[in-house]
Amino acid sequence: MNTAKLSKGDQVTLSDGSLAEVLGVAKDNGTVNVRYVDSMDNPEIPPGTVADVQAEEVIALYEGTHSEGAT
């Protein structure tokens, strides 16, 4: 996904199936700062966890019940 198109507050689906809110995108578009909303029952990443994820881990923009994988 082209992370340059992401905005603060967007919700995205990550490669592990987690749902996260975008807090910011690095200027080089290499990492995305996110807050996990739903970590798909992964106890190692409780909801609310803030982390930097690699851009390639962001696979789709979440739009309610639909995800759009824009390039």
Q: Quote the pTM value.
A: 0.85
Q: Do 60 and 12 meet the contact criterion of CB atoms below 8 Å apart?
A: yes
pLDDT for 16-26, tens place per residue? 999 999 999 99
Contacts of 30 (CB under 8 A, 6+ apart): 54, 55
**CATH domain 3-66 topology:** SH3 type barrels. (2.30.30)
pLDDT for 13-70, tens place per residue? 999 999 999 999 998 889 999 999 998 878 899 999 999 999 999 999 988 765 555 4
Q: Do 21 and 34 meet the contact criterion of CB atoms below 8 Å apart?
A: yes
